[in-house]
Amino acid sequence: MTATGRQCGDCTLCCKVMAIEELAKPASAWCPHCAPGRGCRIYPDRPAECRTFSCVWLVNELLEEHWKPSRSKLVLTTSEDGLEVRCDPGFPDAWRREPFRGELREWAISGETLDMTVVVIVGQRMTLLTPEREFDLGIVGPDERIVRELVGTRVVNATVTKASDLER
């Protein structure tokens, strides 16, 4: 049980959309240990990454009930940069449906002044949402980073660069 009183219940979507390094499980593919809709078959022995994982819906009641991942088909997590929205690849347009699209746009608007990004991830394809537009970034690898070009707090362009190039 979490502070919100919420439980995963019939939801197992993170076991599909998240990559699990310890199991070499890629993103957007069911974990071989998952019984979809029921739970983890190796629950007592699941990797540390799974033990420590909670999606935003589970732990933050600011996200209303309709965001439950098994219903919305969207798993929300936070990163250093802001919010990541992973979409069930079986429902790649789930994030475009209302009320989700409208709420994501509102977060992009409020995030702009706070320098927090809203990124939608379908498989390896990423889309950066800003108040004014969507930046389709294509496939972004784990060794790549999104680079935003800002005018004030407004994002005017977004590109993808190798992380190693940014460190030079």
Read off φ and ψ for residue 157, nearest 5 degrees.
-160, 155
Residues 28-47 that bind ligand SF4 (CB under 6 A): 31, 33-34, 40, 42, 46-47
- In the DSSP assignment, the letter for residue 25 is B
Determine which residue in the list 28, 50, 120, 122 makes contact with ligand SF4, applying CB under 6 A.
Answer: 50
Instruction: Pinpoint the alpha helices (H) of the chain.
Output: 14-17, 48-51, 56-59, 69-72, 100-114, 163-166
Q: Which stretch binds ligand SF4 (CB under 6 A): 26-34, 120-128, 131-139, 141-149?
A: 26-34
Determine which residue in the list 2, 3, 5, 12 makes contact with ligand SF4, applying CB under 6 A.
Answer: 12
Contact between 83 and ligand SF4 by CB under 6 A: the answer reads no
Nearest-CA neighbor of 71 among 97, 109, 52? 97
Q: Which stretch binds ligand SF4 (CB under 6 A): 5-13, 88-96, 113-121, 129-137?
A: 5-13
